[in-house]
């Protein structure tokens, strides 16, 4: 087995200005710790407190959504893995990307939901948020397409984007990208 | 027990319910995984307070980041206060925020849109 070229990996992280990257099963405690590190990095980069809170909020919603989904679907540890990356864009904005395995049908539904949210303006997103907030807890809970994604869309400065990657089996890799 | 005291953690706020004074304070970040579990005790305290006397109730809030499930639990709390207010009870909310972080003021203002009881949003002088 070839050794991983650590310098090459480091170079990639540096060039893409990746501040935080995690791949694997994630606990609530780990979400907290990585979140703290993220807030500290952003504060050290002189990011405005409100923007720090938005990036942190998107990271929390996306990772907690994945944990809720994997638990609800009864996934084992390896299928519950979270892939999350936070990077600084060329224009100084921050992108949060998060992905996980989902059932194919859920993936298709999530993709449609992201496309709907991406087509909405701020006023429509606020109305959708308030409407979802008033719905009973059970509705839309399993797909994770509830309040969390609308909140992420509201905090984003660009439309959300999502992709599905086929792994040949019943489960597909769903990935969403938010730019704050 | 009529006093409620919960120490803050990284993802849950401090909670202090002072029955005799009629004041419930919450402060800090709120993003537990199970917000209904966490806020259950708070909601229970408010229910008991409102049912057990006819004295005023004030919420002093210094909440900062809230995840969406905490927002939902908070909305349930404000709905309870709204119902009490509409039945003639004196209830009020004061939400203090860091003047450098307008996002907290935005969050508080959005909650206030659905409330008719006195709801002040003030800059904190710390």
Question: Rounded to whole angstroms, how far apart are CA atoms B102 and B106?
Answer: 6
Interstrand relation of A18-24 and A82-88 (parallel, antiparallel or unpaired): antiparallel
A27/B contact by beta carbon, under 8 A: no
* Residue B42: exposure state from Cβ atoms within 10 A (0-12, 13-18, ≥19): buried
pTM score, two decimals? 0.94
Question: pLDDT tens-digit profile of B76-125?
Answer: 999 999 999 999 999 999 999 999 899 999 999 999 999 999 999 999 87
* Chain A nearest CA to B7, separation (Å): 17
Q: Could you tell me the CA-to-CA distances from A176 to A103, A144, B69, B101, B102 in Å, in that order?
A: 15, 12, 20, 27, 27
Mutate to test the interface with A, among B40, B75, B98, B103 (most CBs of A within 10 A): B103
Question: Does A28 lie at the interface with B, CB-CB under 8 angstroms?
Answer: yes
Nearest-neighbour CA in chain A from B43: distance (Å): 16
Pick left, alpha or beta for residue A171 (phi over 0 → left; psi -120 to 50 → alpha; otherwise beta). Answer: beta
Tell me how long chain A is.
180
pLDDT in tens, chain A (180 residues): 678 899 999 999 999 999 999 999 999 999 999 999 999 999 999 999 999 999 999 999 999 999 999 999 999 999 999 999 999 999 999 999 999 999 999 999 999 999 999 999 999 999 999 999 988 776 545 444 589 999 999 999 999 999 999 999 999 999 999 999
Which of A49, A56, A61 lies at the smallest CB-CB distance from B100?
A49
For residue A97, give the nearest of A147, A152, A51, A45 by alpha carbon. A152
* Shortest distance, CA A5 to any CA of chain B (angstroms): 36
Total length of chain B: 126
Alpha helices, DSSP H only, in A25-94? Answer: 28-44, 49-72
- The shortest CB-CB distance from A64 to any of B33, B72, B102 is to B33
What's residue A136's pLDDT?
79
């Amino acid at each position: 087995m070839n050794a991983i070229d650590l310098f090459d990996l480091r170079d990639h992280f540096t060039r893409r200005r990746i501040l935080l990257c995690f791949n694997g099963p994630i606990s609530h405690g780990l979400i907290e710790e990585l979140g703290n590190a993220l807030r500290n990095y952003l504060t050290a980069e002189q990011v405005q407190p409100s923007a720090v809170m938005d990036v942190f909020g998107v990271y929390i919603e996306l990772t907690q959504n994945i944990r809720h989904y994997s638990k609800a679907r009864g996934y084992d540890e390896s299928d519950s893995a979270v892939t999350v990356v936070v990077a600084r864009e060329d224009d100084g904005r921050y992108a949060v990307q998060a992905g996980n395995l989902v059932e194919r049908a859920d993936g298709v539904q999530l993709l449609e939901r992201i496309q709907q949210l991406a087509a909405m303006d701020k006023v429509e997103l606020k109305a959708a948020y308030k409407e979802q907030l008033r719905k009973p807890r059970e509705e839309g809970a399993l797909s994770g397409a509830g309040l969390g994604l609308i909140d992420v869309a509201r905090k984003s400065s660009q439309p959300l984007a999502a992709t599905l990657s086929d792994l040949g089996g019943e489960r597909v890799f769903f990935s969403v990208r938010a730019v704050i | 027990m009529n006093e409620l005291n919960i120490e803050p953690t990284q993802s849950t706020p401090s909670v202090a319910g002072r029955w005799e004074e009629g004041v419930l304070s919450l402060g800090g970040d709120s993003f537990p995984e199970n917000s209904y579990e966490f806020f259950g005790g708070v909601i229970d305290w408010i229910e008991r307070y409102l049912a057990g006397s006819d004295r005023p109730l004030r919420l002093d809030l210094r909440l900062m980041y809230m995840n969406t499930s905490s927002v939902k639990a908070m909305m349930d709390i404000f709905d309870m206060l709204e119902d009490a207010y509409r039945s003639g009870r004196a209830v009020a909310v004061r939400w203090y925020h860091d003047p450098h972080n307008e996002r907290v003021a935005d969050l508080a203002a959005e909650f206030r849109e659905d409330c008719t009881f006195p709801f002040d949003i003030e800059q904190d002088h710390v």
